[in-house]
Chains A and B, each alone.
Chain A
């Protein structure tokens, strides 16, 4: 298959169902060969956006452009996009080979061409020996790979994936995540994936677009979103986060100090006008446990409330008089203490750890 990715632009896409706005003025660019994931909770409009790109949903407003050409009015069969549906939607009355041959058959391809392409596509997903089976005779993971082969066999301009891994168990999901990523590298096509699984989004994507209530909240590279969430929703949905609210006590070019109850918290970065309210997001794994006499930019004392041993990690919930409950996660091998309820704990984090976010919580 040729490595010709295509670029997609979504401009001001809006979809209303009566009074309900499923997608609200979303604009997104997907670059050539990029792997974009639309991430959001159920009802966030992510699937509606994908269906509008696929042509199954007519937008109420806005347009969709492929390489600069407006494709909004085209029906799905004229768009030449490959799609992997939730639950795969394999045709139960056709063999694996016939399923994969379907898009070629409706395009009127000759038998010899068709057979060669079907074989290549099945080899791509390592299912060559299952060509004669019926979908029901395959495992979930194999069915998923057939759906992928069927979506890629006709050299589509884009590959659309609607929660492609949601029906699989955890271990298989991780395995297929790797495969999907490798496949994306191999075929060099533009992929658009929809999921509500943050781990899947983080591990697969070149770029993630986070949606909530039909609005695009933030888009960017996985690391960028994780490290610098723009809003409370993003920080909370992508990973876990502590939130600290307070008012700016002092500020200079290198950052500001937030007064949260009796605590003073140093935040490196841009300054902020004194007296204004600020919300900080603090990732649990950026908090360290401080021993006697050790220091950090920010130090908070508290008492151990609860703990869970997770094998690799140790998750703590610490009650602090100034900041309420704080969650911290540390590598289990570093947690050199015997946990007990009420144990005095000193938590510390650097001035880079907490980032200010917009409070968009309802």
Chain B
């Protein structure tokens, strides 16, 4: 593995005063040394589907299927789960190095859907499972489900052969209302808390009248307002509704439920040490897939270099490592695994295109007269176009993202999801293409030449490039004559000081979103009324279109409304879409055989039960 002489020399040098200067040369020598590792990542045929960088400019890679609306799904033969498949190769402990999540939880009601998916999903299941290849909704605890015509009543038909871990007995439909009620607890901070309160009521009593077990294997959700995505929220990649044992909750109370939660998942929760690790053991008897490994452990490590070193020393088999270190990882015999789904959308949000006080006309009407900051340059579409044209997306993609990015035309929309208009792909270069000359000219014409812009440098988990991207934008925007001032700011402070109180005028900030039906993303960005939401660009027209899309269970109506909404955003340059990215992680091919990873945000590990150890 190592060349002892060189390294000993390095070690000695480090002890000497000026030895530090040798750091550079020694690294260069060791990197090729590691390259002579025998195993090349041959074992992962699935993940290496990254297209050559040159092809990136065209449309995105469409997943074969999509989380769609109405589904009266019946299990397809391939998905028919046979209880407790016997496993061929059983590995030891699967160790995954990740950044310590802000929210370390066992209760799905205590954090974002991403946190819950990573930490809760190993030990318990949502009602609806997701396909690990294409992200589509497939039967899990629910074998099938249906919605009524106006989307106010959803019924899920459940399996009858599932047991909770430990002594907590069989899983029945009665566990579902109890689990849903957890999401609206007084102290709940789940992504879906607000949504569930809106759909089913603010109190546990009210919710329990709306979510009812019809019998042991049927549960019915009665919604106060129609919603076309209940099956998505009832599971999928991004829901908070995980199944907890009503029995345990009533016997042990909420503390014990958090301390030692029983679930129905492929792994059994064992223990956790805050900021150190989370441990699970194999559930030998899982209805869908008993894991190939005996145990699983998340090892929580804050520093990039430390996580990479853990992988290099085989202390962990899978790790979240920033893209900048992927070449180093590969040259030491590790493989970079790409998610099956597009996963992350990256954009800059132009601030000030809404009225926080009252939802007056904003994006569409005469922009000068209707805003709380009448001199806001960003209300002028020409300025927004100028910003869009000053950014060199191709350079960002190639230099910062190693060319893995795919075209992103409208914030919130992906070609594989309902509501996408192919026109955006065709016209993108013409309307959004990199053209500093045009940008300068547009600014001149609009009268905002050299206006003061505040560029907020901030970062969200999953895209460490957000800061360098912001710093690059500093150069791009300065180059077209905008007077840019930067402010480095933590996301939470950005939220507190800028968008929550509605003070984003005159700013621009990078953001990232996930891969999910457009209306879920747009609820937060383009719908007025949600005090506390970001509301990047809002007006009565977008509100109407959004409501139509969300409430309609007719796929065509929904798609049309979404498409119209997207047209508005596209033609009026409401945001600065940059790129769609797959999530990436680093795996040790020497230890991992097959791993298919749908991906969400980088560290959102799901479907870990399907990961196989390398053949010996």
Chains A and B belong together in one complex: no
